[in-house]
Structure 1
Amino acid sequence: MKVCIIFPPLPFGWTPVAPPILEYLAALTHREDPNIEIELISASATPEAIDKIQCDLATISILTPTAVPGYMIADALRAKGIKVVFGGIHASSMPEEAKSHGDAVVIGEAESTWPQVLRDFKAGRLQPFYRGEQLPLNDLPTPFFGKLSGGHQFRVINTSRGCPYNCTFCSVKPFYGASIRFRPIEDVVRDVCAVPEKMYINGDENIWWEGFEQRAIDMFTALRGSGKKWMGFGSLRPVLTPSGSRMLNAARESGMLTVWVGWDAISDDSLTAYKANGKIGVDRERAVRTLRDHGIDVSLFYMLGGRNDSLDDFKRSVELADRLGVSMHPSLLVPYPGTELRRQYEPYIYKDLGWEYYTGAYALFDHPDPRMTPAAREEAFYETSLEILSNWRIFSHMRHVPLSGFPFAHILSLMNQLPVRKGMKIAYEKWKEEQRAVRDKQIMG
C-alpha cells in the first residue's frame, strides 16, 4: 500500500520552510503501519511531482488560500481512480465543500482519527467524515525528517496547541481550542535534536504565554544543549511581565534569533475591534524595544484595509517600521471561514471572489469609506509593502539586528525579506496587468 501526502502550492510560490504536516503525518502513518510506502509532495517546491503521482490513497492538507489548487489536484487524482482524503484548517471549516472534491474529510486534529482512516481504507469502508478529538499531547511521534525533497531549509517543531485569546480574525483557536495543551519538554528536545539542519522554526501560535512564563523558561533551558538556532512566533504581553526578562534571556541562550510578532493593526481602534488587545498588552512599542534589548530580532506582522482602517494607516505603518527599526510584513485583512471576523463581515464580503483571492493581497469586502475602493486598498498594500521592503530599509534594518545573533540572525533577516520583496514585485506587476485588463474591458463594454 502506498500513501501520498500532499501540500498544495502556495499562492506566492516556494518558501524555504518545509510544510510541517507532511513529515508529521508521515510519522503518524508509519506508527500505524511501518510497511506503508509514503511519498511526500510539497507542490510549491516540486510541482512536476503532481502529474506523476501513483498511489493507493492521497491525503491533501489545505489552508484557505491553497484550497482551490488542492481541489484541482484532488479532482485529477480521483479521475485516475485514486482515493482522496482532505484535512487541515480549511477542510475542517468547510467540510461539505471539501467532501465534494474528495472521498473523506478529517475534521480537526489527526491523532485520534488518522489510524482509523488507514484501517477503513484498507478494509474498503472509508467513511465520508472523521472528527478528531483534542487529545493531550503526551505521545506525539517525531516528524519523519529526511524524506521530503524540494530544498526546504527549515523544519517546524511544535510544542503546544490551543489559544485562550479571542482575536476575531484567527482561525487557529476554532481548530485547536481555547485550552493550552503543552507537549512534554523532553519530547520537544528529542524532536529538536532530530532536525537535520542547524536551524529550525518553533511553529507554535505563541512560544510564551502569560501565566506560563516558567514553563517557557524550563523549555528554553532544556534546549540550550541542542546547539541549534531557532525562530518562533510570540505575543508581546508576556514580555513585560515580572518574569519576562528571565524568559527572554533563557530564549536567547537556547538559540533564539528572531521572534515574529502579531502587531495585528496599526490603529488602537482596529486592535480593539479585532479583540486583539488582550495579547498585545499595554505598551507594545516598549515590549518590542525590550525584545531587542535582550538580543532578539523582531519582525512584525499586521493587517491593513479593515473596515475600521483608513488610508492613513498604510503610511503610518511605514513610519512605525522606521521608528522601531524592525522588519514589518503587512497583509490586507482576510475574513477566513470559521472565524468571528467572517461572521461580522458576512454582509460586506464580495461573494464573487473565490478562495484563491484569500491570500492577503486582495480586498475581499466593502469598506464604508468611499476612498477605500478595492483597487485603492490593493494598490496601497503593494506600495506600502515595497516601500517597507526597499533595499535601503532592508539593509538599514541590519544595523538594528542584535550583534549577539551575528551572523545567523543577520542572514536570517535577509532571507526573511529579500525573497518576499522579489515575490511582491512580481505580484504587483501582475496586479497592474489585471487592473489594465479590467479598465480595457470597461472601455470596450
Structure 2
Amino acid sequence: MKLCIIFPPLPFGWTPVAPPILEYLAALTRQADPSIEIQLISGSATPEAYKSVECDLAAISILTPTAVSGYNIADSLRARGIKVVFGGMHASAMPEEAKTHGDAVVIGEAESCWPQVLKDFRAGTLQSFYRGEQLELINMPTPLYGMLKNNHQFRIVNTSRGCPFNCTFCSVKPFFGAKIRFRPIEDVVRDVAAIPEKMYEIGDENIWWSSETKRAIELFTALKGSPKKYMAFGSLGPVLAPEGSRMLNAARESGLLSVWVGWDAISEHSLKAYKANGKIGVDRERAVRTLKDHGIDVSLFYMLGSREDTFDDFKRAIEVADRLGVSMHPSLVVPYPGTVLSREYEPYIYKDLGWEYYNGSYALFDHPDPMMTPELREEHFYISLLEQLSLPRVLRHMMKVPMAGFPYAHILSLMSQLPVRKGVKIAFEQWKANRESVRAKRQK
C-alpha cells in the first residue's frame, strides 16, 4: 500500500517552516502499519508534485485558505482512481463540504482514529466520516523529521493542545478543546533532539499559561541542555505574573530567541469585542518591554478592519511598532468557519467570496461605516503592511533584537520577515489585478 500525505500550498507561497502535519502523520502511519510506503508533499515547496504522484490513498490536510486548492488536488487524484481522505481544521469545521471532494473525512484529532482509517481502507470498507477523540497526549511518536525533502528550514515541536480562552476569532478552542493537555516533558525533549536543524519552532497556541507557569519553567529547564535555539508563540498575560521573570529567564536559557504574540487588535474597544482581553493581561505594552528586557525578541500579530475598527487603527499600528521596537504582522479579520466570530458576522459576510479569499488579505464582510469600503480596507492593509516590512524597518528592527540572542535571533528576525515581505508584494500586485472581479462578486 502506498500513502501520499499532502499539505496544499499556502496563499503567499513558500515558507521556511515545514508543515508539521506531514512528518507527524507519517510517524502515526509508521506506528500503525510499518509496511505502508509513504510520500510527503508540501505544496508551498513543490506545488505541482501531486500531478505525478502514484499512490493508493492520499491524505490531504486543509486549512480554510487552502481548502479550495486542496479540493482541486483531491478532484484531480480521484479522477485517476486514487482514494482521498481529508483532515485538518477546515475539514473538521465543514465535514459535509469536504466529503463532496473526498472519500472520507477525519473530524478532529487523528491519533484515536487514524489506524482505523488505514485498516478500513485496506479492507475496502472506508467510512465516510471518522471522529477523533481528544486524548491525553501520551505515547505520541516523534515526527519523522527529515523525511520531507525540500528547502524548508524549520521543524515544529508541539508540547500541548487546547486553549481555555474565549477569543471569538480563534479556531483552536473549537478544534482542540478548552482543556489544556500537556505532553510529557521527556517526550518534548526527545523530539527536540531528533530535529536535524539547529533552530526549530514550538508550535503551541501558547508556550506558557498564567495558571501553569510552574510547568513552563520545568519545560524550559529540561530544554536548557539542548544546543538548539527556537521561537514560539505566547500570550502576554503570564509575562507579568509573580513567577513571570523567573519563567522568562528560564525560557531564554533554554534557547528561546523570539516569541510571536497575539496583540489581536489595536484598539481596546476591538480587543474587548473579540473577548481577547483576558489573555492579553493588564498592561500589554509593559509586558512587551518586559520580554525584551529579558533578552527575548517580540513579534506582534494583530487584525485590522473589524466592524469596530476605523482607519485610525491602520495608522496607529505603525506608531505601536516604532514605539515598542517590535515587528508587526497584521491581517485583515477572517471569520473562520466554526468560530464565534463567524456566527456573529454571518449576516454581514459576502457570501460569494470563496474560501480562497479567507487568507487575511481580503475584506470579507460589510462594515457599518460606509466610508470603510472593502476595497479601501484592503488597500490600507497592504499599504500599512508594506510600510512595516520596508527594508529599512526590517533592518532597524533586527538591530534592536536583544544581543542575548546573537546571532541566531538576528538571523531569525530576517528569515521571519523577508519571505513575508516578498509574498506580500506579490499578493499586492495580484490584488490590484483582481480588484474589479472581486468587487463584482461582492455586489452579487
Task: Give the TM-score band, short-chain normalised.
Answer: over 0.9
Percentage of pairs with the same residue? 76
**What SS does structure 1 have at the residue aligned with 2:68?**
helix
1:14 maps to 14
How do 1:67-106 residues align onto structure 2 when only pairs under 5 Å count?
Answer: 67-106=67-106
1:192 maps to 192
Q: CA deviation at 1:434?
A: 2.0
Structure 1 counterpart of 2:429, one-letter code: E
Q: CA deviation at 1:438?
A: 7.3
1:415 maps to 415
Q: Deviations over 1:335-367 (max 9, x none)?
A: 000000000000000000000000000000000
Give the whole-Å Cα distance in 2 for the aligned partners of 1:126 and 1:429: 44
1:285 maps to 285
Give the whole-Å Cα distance in 2 for the aligned partners of 1:429 and 1:54: 36
2:221 maps to 221
Give the whole-Å Cα distance in 2 for the aligned partners of 1:436 and 1:84: 35
Q: Aligned residues, how many?
A: 441
Q: Deviations over 1:54-107 (max 9, x none)?
A: 101100000000000000000010000000000000000000000000000000
Structure 1 counterpart of 2:81, one-letter code: G
Give the whole-Å Cα distance in 1 for the aligned partners of 2:8 and 2:23: 15
Give the whole-Å Cα distance in 2 for the aligned partners of 1:436 and 1:208: 45
Q: Which moved more, 1:144-153 or 1:27-36?
A: 144-153
Structure 1 counterpart of 2:117, one-letter code: V
Structure 1 counterpart of 2:52, one-letter code: K
**What SS does structure 2 have at the residue aligned with 1:307?**
coil
**What SS does structure 2 have at the residue aligned with 1:86?**
strand
Q: CA deviation at 1:423?
A: 1.3
CA 1:436–1:336 in structure 2 vs 1: closer, same or farther (change >3 Å)?
closer
Give the whole-Å Cα distance in 2 for the aligned partners of 1:125 and 1:429: 47
Give the whole-Å Cα distance in 1 for the aligned partners of 2:390 and 2:302: 18
Which structure 1 residue ranges, 4+ long, deviate > 4 Å from structure 2?
A: 436-439
Q: CA deviation at 1:436?
A: 6.0
2:31 maps to 31
Give the whole-Å Cα distance in 2 for the aligned partners of 1:438 and 1:152: 32
Q: Deviations over 1:121-161 (max 9, x none)?
A: 00000000000000000110000111102211000000000
Q: Deviations over 1:395-423 (max 9, x none)?
A: 11122100010111011101111111111
2:53 maps to 53
Give the whole-Å Cα distance in 2 for the aligned partners of 1:438 and 1:301: 26
**What SS does structure 2 have at the residue aligned with 1:166?**
coil
What TM-score results when the alignment is normalised by the length of structure 1?
0.98
In the alignment, structure 2 segments of 5+ residues that lack a partner are none
CA 1:248–1:104 in structure 2 vs 1: closer, same or farther (change >3 Å)?
same
How do 1:124-139 residues align onto structure 2 when only pairs under 5 Å count?
Answer: 124-139=124-139
Give the whole-Å Cα distance in 1 for the aligned partners of 2:240 and 2:386: 32
1:342 maps to 342
Give the whole-Å Cα distance in 2 for the aligned partners of 1:83 and 1:343: 33
Q: CA deviation at 1:44?
A: 1.1
What TM-score results when the alignment is normalised by the length of structure 2?
0.98
2:237 maps to 237
Q: CA deviation at 1:393?
A: 1.1
Give the whole-Å Cα distance in 1 for the aligned partners of 2:352 and 2:438: 15
In the alignment, structure 1 segments of 5+ residues that lack a partner are none
Q: Which moved more, 1:323-332 or 1:396-405?
A: 396-405
Structure 2 counterpart of 1:96, one-letter code: E
Give the whole-Å Cα distance in 2 for the aligned partners of 1:282 and 1:47: 44
